[in-house]
């Protein structure tokens, strides 16, 4: 599990191991734009404000992953205890 701070929504939640960031946000009443939910379309691309993402998508290039600026929240998770997103 890790802490997720949705800065724009003003919501802080825990994302359990068995839920995606999208699912955890929806549980908290935050509306998220998604499509494939498999990390291949790019619809759910979200800007990272703080923390480091653990990427599991097939959208980003290697240098974009290393840059840690954006992530696909339908599949990707946090590599740090806390992750702050622009959502």
Q: Is 44 in the site for ligand FES (CB under 6 A)?
A: yes
57 binds ligand FES (CB under 6 A): yes
- Sequential DSSP letters for 10-69: TEEEEE-TTS-HHHHHHHTT-----SSSSSSS-TTEEEEEES-EE---SSS-HHHHHHTS
| The only residue of 3, 5, 9, 34 in contact with ligand FES, by rule CB under 6 A | 34
Name the one range near ligand FES by CB under 6 A: 2-10, 12-20, 41-49, 62-70.
Answer: 41-49
Name residues contacting ligand FES, limited to 4-33 (CB under 6 A): none
């Amino acid at each position: 599990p890790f802490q997720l701070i949705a800065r724009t929504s003003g919501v802080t939640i825990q994302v359990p191991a068995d839920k995606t960031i999208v699912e955890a946000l929806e549980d908290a009443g935050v509306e998220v734009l998604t499509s494939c939910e498999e990390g291949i379309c790019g619809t759910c691309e979200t800007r990272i404000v703080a923390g480091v993402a653990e990427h599991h998508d097939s959208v980003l290039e290697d240098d974009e992953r290393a840059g840690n600026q954006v992530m696909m929240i339908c599949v990707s998770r946090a590599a740090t205890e806390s992750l702050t997103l622009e959502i």
